[in-house]
């Protein structure tokens, strides 16, 4: 099998910032509560006329440029998102057209906040088998459009953004070393958007009840996340025959600093080895891992040979991790 890994990264967040102080004017909350319970100070919000594909395109163009490939050289585009522009066509197809990626297949991947790690593992399979050479993976979300801005349990948590990576053949022994993908559909109701699908098509009443928005049992998701984030990385490490102490970087899904801290503790990682940007962006679901990754690349934090663990969890329930040699 060929080795497959990241050859270029990119990211984009919308210009508009909503601070905790702004939220204090909208719901019964406080900056102190939000920072203490989540670590979030502010988040970005897309314009009304700015769909997920717009954010995805900006991140993708940067990743393609950094990878030194042309859009026409892409064999496949995978967009991980829970806020697609429309149900059909897929956001990946919209992106394919915008980029002029004339030779690429394209599909969306639905695994909520685990989406980027799911998509990264998927992309690498095509490259490792030699079927494809260049695959664009994007995690992109406009969660602000599926938030009930009167619900303090959810509206303080999320933000909009997009992160992208081009995967391609890499030096033998580098790139993706192992991965773990998991799911527990029995926990599906803990975190969902109740209406808008075939189960409950949108009606005036469901819109009035905000059933087109994210609903969440925060405490239950918290308990699940604290357990699963470290556990999935341990599984991936075991598959690669790597010890915890060998990890150079953890790039976790950015949902809550307390969840990240618990995973770091379990993996015995000091804070300086954990990439955390939740303070400025909040939870960007599928975009959170690739934005954190791309920003770290831009800041030259990784050096050749570093072992990087990506780990996510989210609605589904789903979880996923990847171990990569940079």
Question: Tokens 């919308």 belong to which residue?
Answer: 14
Tell the smallest beta-carbon distance from residue 144 to ligand ACO (Å): 13
Residues 6 or more apart whose CB falls under 8 angstroms from that of 22 comprise: none
Q: Which of residues 246-305 bind ligand ACO (CB under 6 A)?
A: 255-256, 283, 285
Q: Alpha-carbon Rg of the chain, whole angstroms? A: 19
Q: Does 40 bind ligand ACO (CB under 6 A)?
A: no
Residue 218 in contact with ligand ACO, rule: CB under 6 A: yes
Segment lying near ligand ACO (by CB under 6 A), choices 29-37, 118-126, 161-169, 192-200 = 29-37
- As measured in angstroms, the least distance from the Cβ of 241 to ligand ACO is 30
* Tokens (6 digits) for 105: 């297949």
Instruction: Out of 49, 88, 204, 219, name the contact with ligand ACO by CB under 6 A.
Output: 219
Residue 283 bears catalytic tag:
yes
Closest approach of ligand ACO to the CB of residue 253, in Å: 7
State the Cα–Cα distance between residues 112 and 7, nearest whole angstrom: 24
Work out whether 107 is an interface residue with ligand ACO (CB under 6 A): no
Q: Which residues contact 209 (CB under 8 A, 6 or more apart)?
A: none
Token pair for 155: 């509206």
Does residue 29 interact with ligand ACO by CB under 6 A? Answer: yes
Binding of ligand ACO at residue 110 (CB under 6 A)? no
Residue placing its CB nearer to ligand ACO in the complex, 29 or 206: 29
Interface with ligand ACO includes 236 (CB under 6 A)?
A: no
In the block, tokens 């150079």 appear at 248
Residues 6+ apart with CB under 8 A from 89: none
Smallest distance from the beta carbon of 153 to ligand ACO, in angstroms? 5
Residues near 265 by Cβ (< 8 Å), separated by ≥ 6? 230
Whether residue 155 lies in the annotated active site: no
Binders of ligand ACO in range 140-199 (CB under 6 A): 152-153, 156, 191
Position of tokens 């072992």?
307
With respect to ligand ACO, which residue has the nearer C-beta, 96 or 114? 114
The region of 14-22, 94-102, 214-222, 296-304 touching ligand ACO under the rule CB under 6 A is: 214-222
Distance (Å, whole) CA 116 – CA 163: 9
Stretch that binds ligand ACO, among 73-81, 130-138, 173-181, 220-228 (CB under 6 A): 220-228
**Minimal distance, residue 109 CB to ligand ACO, in Å:** 13
How far is the C-alpha of 98 from the C-alpha of 101, rounded, in Å? 8
Binding ligand ACO (rule: CB under 6 A), the pick from 17, 24, 31, 33 is: 33
52 and 87 Cβ atoms separated by less than 8 Å: no
Binding window for ligand ACO (CB under 6 A); candidates: 54-62, 64-72, 213-221, 243-251: 213-221
Which are the contacts of 132, defined by CB distance < 8 A and separation ≥ 6?
Answer: 75, 76, 126
- Please pick, from the candidates 74, 80, 221, 311, the single residue that binds ligand ACO as defined by CB under 6 A: 221
The residue from 113, 124, 213, 322 that is catalytic is 113
User: Cβ–Cβ contacts within 10 Å for residue 258, how many?
Assistant: 14
Specify the 3-state DSSP secondary structure of 238.
helix
Query: For residues 91 and 132, what is the distance between their CA atoms, to the nearest angstrom?
Result: 21
Q: Give every CB contact of residue 302 below 8 A, 6+ residues apart in sequence.
A: 248, 249, 296, 308, 326
Cβ-contact 207, 37 below 8 angstroms: no
Q: Point out the residue whose Cβ comes nearest to ligand ACO.
A: 314
Binding site for ligand ACO (CB under 6 A): 29, 33, 37-38, 112-113, 152-153, 156, 191, 216, 218-219, 221-222, 225, 255-256, 283, 285, 314-315
Enumerate the active-site residues.
113, 253, 283
């Amino acid at each position: 099998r060929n080795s497959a890994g990241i050859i270029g990264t990119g990211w984009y967040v919308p210009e508009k910032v909503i601070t905790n102080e702004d939220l204090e004017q909208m719901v019964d909350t406080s900056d102190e509560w939000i920072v203490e319970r989540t670590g979030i100070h502010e988040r970005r919000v897309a314009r009304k006329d700015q769909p997920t594909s717009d954010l995805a395109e900006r991140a993708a163009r940067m990743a393609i440029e950094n990878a030194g490939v042309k859009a026409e050289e892409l064999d496949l585009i995978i967009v991980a998102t829970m806020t697609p522009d429309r149900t059909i066509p897929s956001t990946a197809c919209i992106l394919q057209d915008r980029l002029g990626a004339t030779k690429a297949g394209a599909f969306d991947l639905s695994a909520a906040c685990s989406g980027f790690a799911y998509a990264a593992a998927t992309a690498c399979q095509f490259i490792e088998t030699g079927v494809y050479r260049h695959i664009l993976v994007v995690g992109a979300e406009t969660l602000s459009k599926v938030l009930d801005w009167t619900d303090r349990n959810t509206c303080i948590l999320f933000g909009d953004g997009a992160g992208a990576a081009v995967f391609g053949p890499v030096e033998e022994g580098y790139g993706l070393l192992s991965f773990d993908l998991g799911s527990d559909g029995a926990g599906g109701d803990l975190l969902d958007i109740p209406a808008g699908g075939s189960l409950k098509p949108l009606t005036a009443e469901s819109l009035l009840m905000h059933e087109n928005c994210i609903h969440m049992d925060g405490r239950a998701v918290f308990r699940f996340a604290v357990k699963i984030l470290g556990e999935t990385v341990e599984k991936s490490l075991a598959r690669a025959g790597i010890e915890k102490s060998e990890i150079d970087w953890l790039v976790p899904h950015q949902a809550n600093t307390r969840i990240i801290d618990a995973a770091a503790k379990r993996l015995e990682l000091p804070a300086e080895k954990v990439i955390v940007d939740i303070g400025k962006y909040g939870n960007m679901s599928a975009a959170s891992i690739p934005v954190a990754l791309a920003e770290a690349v831009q800041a030259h934090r990784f050096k050749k040979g570093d072992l990087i663990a990506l780990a996510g969890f989210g609605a589904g329930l789903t979880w996923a991790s990847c171990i990569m040699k940079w």
